[in-house]
Amino acid sequence: MSEIALYRKYRPAQWDEVQGQDHVIKVLKGAIENDKVAHAYLFYGTRGTGKTTVARIFAREIGVSVNDVYEIDAASNRGIDDIRELRDAVNMLPLESPYKVYIIDEVHMLTKEAFNALLKTLEEPPKHVIFILATTELEKLPETVVSRCQTFTFKKPNHELLKQMVLDTAKKEGLKLESASADLIALLGDGSFRDTLGILQKLTAFSADKKITREEVEQIVGAPSTKLVNGVLSAIAEGKLAEGLADIHTAVEYNVDMKVYVKLILRKLRAVLLLRYAPEMTEKIVQDFTEEDAGLLKEYAEEKDSKLSSTALVALLEAYQQIGYSYIPQLPLELALIKLIGQDKR
């Protein structure tokens, strides 16, 4: 038998299980309690933030059975003929519920003609029909459609929330997970509950002893190694440009995602500055790193005149922002190092 995906296994089924979207849940619960359910909702947010999950819970909370909930993937059913079929179907009464709920995912993928057809249905829907449109790209929706819906923006979960989810899920699965491992998994999840659990799932398949170390995370998901990340920090701190550029070159050879690479460097540099200027936060900061890394970061923090400074942090932030626009992905990081270490003589 195939194993159930973790994101499906632990998909929230009740309001109190939904994390990070309290501002949405509060309004939807209030609408139900006050009998002011709208005929059309628009859920907007990046992937894996819980839009479809909340739509399903909402349908269940207003008394709609599974047989009267219809989920449509607009990426695959995007034409006018598909929407015409939907328009005909909505006129049929629910099978066993007070409403029929249509959840249209990736609604921005509909064609212009399909949107026009959908608009007519949104303007004058049957009383027994509720539409919940979900999208990751709000700007692609016609204003005429948006204006006929109650719009809710789903927030990307922050790093700490994702990390705690990883730790909680690992515990339920009987896994031994180091805090530093959970921290890296959460970072690689990039603000998506689903993607984060997908990474954890991948790791469980390769861990025979049920213990997942940070090194295993790096090896299995292709994240840059601790050595390569620390190498750039050391190059900046010690003014060794050639060594830093060599580490970047090695990362490229290993086909490392350059944005992830710089993100990990930024995370450690930020930790150095916090340890230096807010020592009372030491215990909280070091728990996100291995014992070896924590010791190294403390050493750097004690070097008051180090080039690991706010100036370096700003330069690396700028490099991170430029990576997506650079023809050579590693170039912004290379230029940042040349500037910081002071060997740009021209």
pLDDT for 252 equals: 93
pLDDT for 345 equals: 46
Low-confidence ranges of the chain (pLDDT < 50): 1-2, 344-346
pLDDT for 206 equals: 76
**pTM, rounded to two decimals:** 0.83
Cα–Cα distance between 333 and 326 in angstroms, integer?
10
Q: Does 226-341 carry CATH code 3.40.50.720?
A: no
H-helix segments, the chain: 6-9, 22-33, 51-61, 80-90, 112-123, 143-146, 159-172, 179-189, 193-206, 214-221, 226-238, 241-253, 258-277, 282-286, 291-302, 310-323, 331-341
* Alpha carbon distances (Å) from 330 to 234, 261, 336: 18, 10, 10
pLDDT for 55 equals: 97
CA dihedral 327, 184, 254, 295 (to 10 degrees): 110
**Cβ(187)–Cβ(267) below 8 Å:** yes
pLDDT for 137 equals: 94
What residues does each domain of the chain span? 20-153, 174-221, 226-341
Q: Does 20-153 carry CATH code 3.40.50.300?
A: yes
pLDDT for 343 equals: 58
pLDDT for 346 equals: 47
Structure token digits, residue 316? 């690396």
The class (CATH top level) of 174-221 is mainly alpha
Q: Is 104 exposed, middle or buried (0-12, 13-18, 19+ CB in 10 A)?
A: buried
Over residues 102-116, the pLDDT tens digits come to 999 999 988 888 888
Over residues 227-247, the pLDDT tens digits come to 999 999 999 999 999 999 999
Cα–Cα distance between 261 and 178 in angstroms, integer?
21
Please tell me the total number of residues recorded for the chain in this structure.
346
Cα–Cα distance between 230 and 313 in angstroms, integer?
15
Residue-averaged pLDDT of the chain: 90
